[in-house]
Amino acid sequence: MRLPLALLAMPLLLIGHPAMADGDERRLERIEAKLEDLTPEHFRESATVSGDDLDTFVTITTQEGFRHRGGFSDRYRTDSFVRAFISRQTGEASFQIYATIAYNRDWRHYNRVNFATINGPRTADLERIGTDSNCEYSVCVLTEIVGFTVDEETLRAIAADGSDPWRFRFYARSGDDWTELMSRAELAGALAAVDEYRDTLQID
């Protein structure tokens, strides 16, 4: 499903961002094509649940639902998915978009994200979860692992929006910004998995 023209006009969502090379645009187009056939049911069924009776929170992720890391020649190799943390006592959940961003050369230090909502772009700080460097070959591959929180009400509104895919942009201190795509079906599937787990809880 294509984005409405009004949505495409928003600066946040333009694929032709000044920092993007033609190869980046082609990579986003390949990802978008792969996302078109995925359904909420697929992500609900492939969601992983972790936690036992000693944990106060249960974690649900959509990591196995879709992966597209790309090839070594891509300027970016990324993977993003939803993580939900659900209280076993109350059923309340917090939602995080978890992402790995791999690239070559110098560290870029991603520290902020803009994400599309039905009311326009919203800005959030990035949590720096981890970093990794692999210099086994002639060129080092640097990886930043980041996450940002989206409240449940906003996430449900984004998932219910008819336009696909959902887009968000990571901003770096170096100026090497990156726009990432996620299927709204992934958001809907994550929320369905959370609702399914909540139904198993016995809450007073």
The band of 5, judged by pLDDT with boundaries at 50, 70 and 90, is: very low
Cα–Cα dist 104/1, whole Å: 33
pLDDT at 6 over 60: no
pLDDT at position 1, please?
Answer: 35
pLDDT at position 78, please?
Answer: 86
Query: pLDDT for 131-186, tens place per residue?
Result: 999 988 778 889 999 999 999 999 999 999 877 789 999 999 999 999 998 999 99
List of domains in the chain: 39-198 (2.60.40)
CB-count exposure of residue 86 (10 Å: 0-12, 13-18, 19+): buried
Per-residue exposure over 157-179, b if at least 16 CB sit within 10 Å of its own CB, e if not: ebbebebbbbbbbbbbeeebbbb
Query: pLDDT for 16-74, tens place per residue?
Result: 344 455 556 766 676 666 667 788 999 999 999 999 889 999 999 999 987 766 555 55
Residue with tokens 């939602």: 95
